[in-house]
Amino acid sequence: MVMHRWPIRGSIVALLAVIVAFGIGTAVPAQETPSNTASAAVGLLSPYVGIAVEPGDTASFTLEVVGPEEDEIQLSTEDVPDGWTAKIRGGGLSVDRVMIGDSLTHNLKLDIDVPPTAAEGTYRIGVLAEGVSSNDLLDFDITVAQAVGGGVTLDTEFPALRGPSDVTFTFNLDLKNDTGDDIQFGLETQGPDGWQIDAKPSGQSRASTVTVTAGSSERITVEVDPPDFTPAGTYPVIVQASGGGQTASMELAVQVTGNFVMTLATPDERLNVDVQAGKTTELPLVVRNDGTAPLLGVTLSATPPRGWDVTFTPDGIDDIEPGATADVVATITPADDAIAGDYRLTVRAQVPETSDSIEVRATVKTSALWGLVGVGIILVALAAVALVFRRFGRR
């Protein structure tokens, strides 16, 4: 019995050893080596790989290079047509090699200058990136056409403004960048001699440049200040934005209505007049146009004392040209019961755009006839006194 138990026990032990060995082998899986294939491969990336341009324009593409850490990548262009130029730029410099790293950014651009004589069609230009262990080729398609739209434009809702010469005209323009690149624009203006014209980004009082990101627009404020005595007329003002090989311009119009300045005076500059109660007295006046715009429809009015009357001949003036004068006569009639003394009355000349007024001192004097009557009364009184003395003096 004992002899038969040992072989069975040995078989069981052997079987358990096999199971344990198998279980240990499968319980601890082998560690997999992470794959670095994706990160080790050199690659080129760009948001746009095909655009349309006109002959003579520059096609620009942004570039990003990926690859293994601390790898040096060689960059070059391929299949550039005759007469075309293609350069890879970074930081304003021509670039042909870059280093790859987590802390490194490239901000590369591919600039392709299309000659003005380029025929219409689609051209393919490649950029090759070569690393130590791999390389990548990225193709860019440039379609050349006579009118492709897009580009850079200046636009405004109100290209013409109208007003007198002593105000500042303000235009609001939209500078739109329909290219695929961010562009920094310089702003320039051109206008008549002696005019002050200022173009700047909206909300910036001193900036002379503005950066417009691809596909967006920026508001440009243009302030135009003509000299105060600019003659009436229409004057052109040109605004231009240039940058990144792109130029946009727009012509604005300033319609100057002239400067309205009116002066009311008397020919001898005297502002006093002698009048008599109930009698008319004429006061000469001069209306002078000291502005640069015609004075149209001049009206005259007066504010006299109560019971007085003031009329004008003529009662209105149709037109006074710049630098010209017009003569007017004011007829003043004091009240019949006006007593002697000084009175003030206001005379005004006006048009819708401007006005002027003067204050006249009118001195009421008694009539000469009443003076003679007074003298006569005095003489009669003296004669009566003399007669009394003569009659009673004899007694």
In the prediction, which pLDDT does 296 show?
Answer: 94
Q: How would you write the pLDDT of the chain (395 residues) with one tens digit per residue? A: 334 444 444 444 444 444 444 444 444 444 443 444 445 688 888 888 888 888 888 888 888 888 777 778 889 999 999 999 999 988 778 888 888 876 666 778 899 999 998 988 999 999 998 888 788 899 999 999 876 656 799 999 999 999 988 899 999 999 999 887 889 999 999 999 999 999 999 877 778 899 999 889 999 999 999 998 888 899 999 999 999 888 999 999 999 988 889 999 999 999 999 999 999 999 999 999 998 889 999 999 999 999 999 999 999 999 999 999 999 999 999 999 999 999 999 999 999 989 999 999 999 986 555 556 667 788 778 877 777 777 776 55
358 DSSP β-pair partners: 347
Rg for the chain (alpha carbons), in Å?
Answer: 49
299 DSSP β-pair partners: 316, 350
Alpha-carbon span 349 to 317, nearest angstrom: 10
Q: Provide the residue ranges of all domains of the chain, joining segments of one domain with +.
A: 39-144, 152-256, 262-368
- Sheet bearing 272-276, strands edge to edge: 272-276, 355-365, 341-350, 295-303, 316-320
Which tokens go with 86? 């293609």
Total residue length of the chain: 395
Other C-beta atoms lying within 10 Å of the C-beta of residue 5: 9
Contact call for residues 176 and 155 (beta carbons, < 8 A): yes
Q: Please name the residues in contact with 92: beta carbons below 8 A apart, sequence gap of 6 or more.
A: none
Domain 39-144 in CATH 2.60.40.10? The answer is yes
Residue 50: name the closest of 110, 108, 104, 117 by CA: 110
Other C-beta atoms lying within 10 Å of the C-beta of residue 320: 20
In the prediction, which pLDDT does 395 show?
Answer: 54
Q: What are phi and psi of 39, to 5 degrees?
A: -75, -20
How many CA atoms are closer than 13 Å to the CA of 16, on its beta-carbon side? 6
90 CB-contact burial (10 Å; exposed 0-12 / middle 13-18 / buried 19+)? middle
State the fold for domain 152-256. Immunoglobulin-like (2.60.40)
Alpha-carbon span 44 to 61, nearest angstrom: 12
Contact call for residues 175 and 185 (beta carbons, < 8 A): yes
Which tokens go with 108? 């590369």
Supply the CATH classification number for the domain 262-368. 2.60.40.10
Residue tagged 């008599």 (tokens): 276
Which tokens go with 319? 């037109």
pTM of structure: 0.49
In the prediction, which pLDDT does 29 show?
Answer: 43
In the prediction, which pLDDT does 62 show?
Answer: 87
> Three-class SS of residue 319?
strand
Written as one letter, the residue type at 363 is: T
